[in-house]
Structure 1
């Protein structure tokens, strides 16, 4: 459950193309031909998120890049980004999820962003809670701003319901950035249509019946919720029970109470009922052999309700 180490350089060799929102279209008007998917307003986002004494120190929107996580990890390693830096891309060409899976979507159809955190007040052993914390923040922020019910699949997938089926609409990836930094990346499908989905099991906020798909307030809602949860967790020394994070995650986790298959490193798998998320952020499975086995890393497949 610890954030993965990363030393990759940005995957777009020419670097990210800056985009400052509607006022920065320049002569590239064809990029904004889809009126249902307007660009983010970077100036308004900075005005709404960057404040004295707040967590977010800068918000940059780029038009296109390989991976916001890779870019921000590289900037942190080079000393060009500090805690609270937020990097958002209108389009990612090499976005990554867990287990190095690719995450692709049409330009401006979702929210793809990374943040740099430096939780130096928290013991490193508790940093594995950062993806789970981000999941709670994303789910709560979207519930308020988009009016859509969301659930969390352990450890870091965002689920929505489309036509009575659970579908993945978002994911989270945390990576170490230097000695004290963690870059947390979030990808959320906002306006993807059925014919644009990368796989049939994917979903989007629009397909789930969101009352709003305006990406500016959605992004502000997620980042404000993330700031609130991060500060609470950091001020509690990373104790997930003391700050309420462990309880909040369990309340929103669709994996708990399910029979699941955990596909573990080394080609091993375990089937059992997901009964708890322990103090280290691990998923606890009750197996048919009567053993409770904590899972700290692996791929989880939901099989059925217990």
Structure 2
């Protein structure tokens, strides 16, 4: 994670760190949901939905400026010489530009793998997954799982994470044995780190699978719908190249069995081929030839 300072409305497209944002795989937008008269909100009111939408508009505008400039260059080049690939790019950008002009984020647009490849180099900001994080008052902790009720205007179908920064700061300063009791006093079931990680996986369409060695268990993050052979390649290219089979067991089943060997003896482990779609929580042993 890399932290960038917040900017006022209208400053993002002109900021010097815009190029840095484009390098990111995804964005986390922290917005204010707490009251503090000593630190007034720049807009004069607390409205997380407005702040989220304002940021989205800035990103859309930035992408629109970039695509418009690229289209102008393509049109000039295509007048000079024929370029089938350039023509495909032009047709795609002409389809995307009106969406941006209508304030639609490109991540809501259905794109084929070939189309995604064409625009990959632009690193379009409105195409990136974004997780809004709302820093709320202690008095609003009851709304953690229903932020739309507390803050009208939030999109109920889009993932959003709520937290109380002040409370989380206090939790971080406690000894481990004190944290659970302190959290329960506020009705907090799990650490914010766990909730944050789960939301990040959701917006970025990631899943976790595990591998077990003699001395360690390792977790690996991959995109959803990744076949087993590609998951093996995330560990080492030799595993992908020499892939034979994958021995697969859901993590919950491994916990119940007590060990990999006991799970195998109980017939719980199943063999899968290279096209098997890895599932969140799978524990996998890859068979491969050197």
TM-score interval for Structure 1 and Structure 2 normalised by the shorter chain: under 0.3
TM-score computed with the length of structure 2 as normaliser: 0.24
Between Structure 1 and Structure 2, the one with more helix by share is: 2
TM-score (norm 1): 0.23
Q: State which structure, 1 or 2, has the greater radius of gyration over its C-alpha atoms.
A: 2
Considering fraction of residues, name the structure with more strand. Answer: 1
